[in-house]
Chain A
Amino acid sequence: MLKERLRELVQHNGYELLLVLLLAASMAFSASLSPYFLTVTTLFDMTSQFMEIGLMALAMTLVIILGQIDLSVASILALVGVVFGLMNERGISLGVAIPAVLALATVLGLINGWLAVLFRLPALVVTLGTMALYRGVGQILLGDRSTYGFPAWFVSIDFRYIPGTPVPLPLVIFAAFAVVFYFLLHRTTLGRLVYAVGNNAEACRFSGIAVDRLQVMVFGLSGLMAGTAGLMMTSRFASARWDMANGLELDVITTVVLGGTSIFGGRGTIVGTVLALFVIGTLRYGMGLANVLPQNQSVVIGVLLILAIFVPEAWRAWRARPRRTARRGGEAPAQVAGGKAG
């Protein structure tokens, strides 16, 4: 009975279990590097460094399951930081500025989705353009300086904790959003539609599903999460620049893909994304403790990303290899090479 349950668990959640193992391994690795790693405060404090990536990765999971990609998230993050900083400089109260920039971020995301739908273009091309455009607008608005002078209550969110606990606020915010996205993707009609469209957009269109509207909405959501991440990062650094979070979209996509979401769409989970976020975060932090330079850390993350796709794929291919006995009369399974998300 127990054995069967266990086998079922492994069969249905094989990849997630692999990620749990990876997480354990990376924590063991980090702990072996520094005696300070396995302390409660360190473990909690470390999370604040990758919660922005996490916020964006939650929405990016939906985007990628939909069979699309959003390269512009880090640019939306930066533009939000810049506009927010400028509003603050003009003396606009943050009670107005925060909702305003979140609305702006949502609109920027909606523009991505809307352009892709209107011109029937792959989101890869559209967001390649808006990635440059949004960051470029931030650069025009602020120039080559930083904006700071935020009120004390707004800054240093990573040094605020739930009273009496070592749990930092960014982690709380991320956890809340993770729960929301879990229910949105796995427990609502909208979530099921995202999978359906990702598996076969044409069939969905013919079934009367508003595919275009769904896509625009999901990109709006991606923008909103990038905006939230922008506010968090601005608070953490107590300043904003046009080039903040440069290249962070790669970390976000890496997280989602390492989490088991198929770049071709139709497959993926929020749990996988959250686990992958902590795997990457722990690894980076551990390597930081060991004085590995950030650029060299990237090598490890890059290799991990490729292996995460390559190994399961190779394993599947090896399992499904044509056997000698079965070769007669049957054709070799069609090879699928190349292709990309778009």
Chain B
Amino acid sequence: MRRQEAGTAGQALDVAVPRPVEGVLAINRGLARFRDLGLVVAIAAVAAVTAVRSPQFATAANLQRIMLDISLLLLVATGQTMVVLTRNIDLSVGSVLGLSGIVIGFMLKDHPTMAVPFILALGAGLGLLLGAINGALVSWGRVPAVIATLGTLTVYRGLVFIHSGGQQVNPQDVPRQLLQVARPGGLGLPPMVLMALIVAVAGWVVLRYTRTGRAMYAIGSNPDAARMRGLQAGRIIFLTYLISGALAGVAGVLYAARFATVNPASAGTGFELQVIAATVIGGTSIMGGRGGIPGTILGALLLGTIANALAVSGVSGFWQRAVEGAVILAAVAVDAVIRRQAVRGVGRRA
């Protein structure tokens, strides 16, 4: 009886709405490709102009510096993309990075011989714990994501100060084997860069090809429908926070490897904004359900390239913040305009 009803309802739906829905889906796909192309062009343009203007841009050492900077951003932005796809947000990632860097950094002072995978696992474990607190608050505590992670942003940063007692992790405290992670290794790339790439590709596969990944899109796209369809929204949102936390925790360790110094006041402070910027510039909608990892990779690349370009072309460092802000606005505005034009086009055709 019930099944029959569902069948007829489905048929009615098929008759009523196929063309516009198909059209919008096609637009989403086409647009994603179009805007990815746009980002590639933008990155290439920035790189080309800078390479012509300043000879030290296109050197191996500088390219490696860009890759190292981007890999931290990309790692954390991969987790953030999943959170944002479910129509949530994780503002605490910068503080998680800082707390992980400080806690693990101080641990290394006493145990300098720990193996690198073990150190990374410790960072991931700490991040997992902090992410679990975020996820529990949002999924089961019913605290809105903005509020919950705004709160934990402050709390985790406070814990950084309490744990460090205002002391920083100094270069002599960071053991050699960890520093190697940020030096060129296999394939000529620093292991850290490879890790970020592997994580991003894994995130892409999860989001695109697994049931859980598709559920993330479904929940962000239409929470009520996803719930009626039987998706365990709470669990999946919790999972995205676990992933985001764990990756930020790993990034904290890699931060120590990259800079050999972890300062409680500056490590990861404001990083959440760059991470969200990379995600949003990459075309992931802050309203959830739309976007993905390929865009985030390009978003991180664009931000990293611009930051480096400003630095090497001798433009005052003071410009970086304003340019970043303008890039965020331009990216979301262009996206919105193209989207509206495209949807209007479908309306005319249908």
Q: Please give the residue numbers on chain A whose beta carbons come within 8 Å of chain B beta carbons, in ascending order.
A: 69, 115, 119-122, 124-126, 128-137, 139-140, 143-144, 242, 250, 253-254, 257, 263-264, 293, 295-299, 301-303, 305-306, 309-310, 313-314, 317, 334-342
Which 4 pairs between the two chains have the least Cβ-Cβ distance?
A136-B322, A133-B325, A132-B325, A299-B158
Smallest CB separation, A1 vs chain B (Å): 38
CA distance A143 to B148 in the complex (A): 35
Known contacts A303-B155, A317-B142; A338/B89 CB under 8 A: no
Q: Which of A119, A296, A334, A341 has the most CB of B within 10 A?
A: A119
Q: Which residues of chain B come closer than 8 Å to A119, judged between CB atoms?
A: 332-333, 336-337
CA distance A41 to B241 in the complex (A): 47
Q: Which residues of chain B come closer than 8 Å to A134, judged between CB atoms?
A: 325
Name B322's contact: one of A122, A137, A298, A334 (CB within 8 Å): A137
Q: Are A339 and B332 in contact (CB under 8 A)?
A: no
Q: Are A341 and B233 in contact (CB under 8 A)?
A: no
29 contacts between A and B (CB under 8 A): A115-B329, A119-B332, A124-B286, A125-B328, A126-B329, A129-B325, A132-B273, A132-B321, A132-B322, A133-B322, A133-B326, A135-B325, A136-B323, A136-B325, A140-B322, A250-B150, A296-B161, A297-B158, A299-B154, A306-B137, A306-B141, A309-B144, A313-B141, A314-B142, A337-B139, A338-B88, A338-B237, A340-B87, A342-B286
Label chain A's interface by main secondary structure. helix
Q: Which residues of chain A come closer than 8 Å to B336, judged between CB atoms?
A: 119-121
Number of residues in B with C-beta < 8 Å to the partner? Answer: 57
Number of A-B residue pairs at CB separation under 8 A: 178
Name B332's contact: one of A121, A296, A338 (CB within 8 Å): A121
Name B329's contact: one of A130, A139, A293 (CB within 8 Å): A130
Q: Which residues of chain B come closer than 8 Å to A334, judged between CB atoms?
A: 227
Q: Which residues of chain A come closer than 8 Å to B159, judged between CB atoms?
A: 299
Q: Are A335 and B234 in contact (CB under 8 A)?
A: yes
Q: Which residues of chain A come closer than 8 Å to B286, judged between CB atoms?
A: 122, 124-125, 342
CA distance A121 to B287 in the complex (A): 9
Chain A residue nearest to B329 in the complex (CB): A129
Q: Is B48 an interface residue (CB 8 A)?
A: no
Q: Please give the residue numbers on chain B whose beta carbons come within 8 Å of chain A beta carbons, in ascending order.
A: 86-89, 137-148, 150-155, 157-162, 219, 223, 227, 233-234, 237, 273, 276-277, 280, 286-287, 316, 318-326, 328-329, 332-333, 336-337, 340
Q: Which residues of chain A come closer than 8 Å to B325, judged between CB atoms?
A: 129-136
Known contacts A119-B337, A122-B287, A313-B142; A128/B147 CB under 8 A: no
Q: Which residues of chain B come closer than 8 Å to A309, judged between CB atoms?
A: 143-144, 147-148
Q: Which residues of chain A come closer than 8 Å to B332, judged between CB atoms?
A: 119, 121, 125-126, 129
Known A-B contacts: A136-B322, A306-B143. Give 8 more (CB < 8 A). A129-B328, A132-B273, A133-B321, A135-B321, A296-B158, A305-B151, A310-B141, A342-B286
Chain A residue nearest to B148 in the complex (CB): A306
Q: Which residues of chain A come closer than 8 Å to B329, judged between CB atoms?
A: 115, 126, 129-130, 133
Q: Are B319 and A338 in contact (CB under 8 A)?
A: no
Q: Which of B141, B316, B320 has the most CB of A within 10 A?
A: B141
Chain A residue nearest to B323 in the complex (CB): A136
Q: Which of B88, B89, B146 has the most CB of A within 10 A?
A: B146
Q: Which residues of chain A come closer than 8 Å to B321, judged between CB atoms?
A: 132-133, 135-136, 139
Smallest CB separation, B304 vs chain A (Å): 16
Q: Are A298 and B146 in contact (CB under 8 A)?
A: no
Q: Which residues of chain B come closer than 8 Å to A125, judged between CB atoms?
A: 280, 286, 328, 332
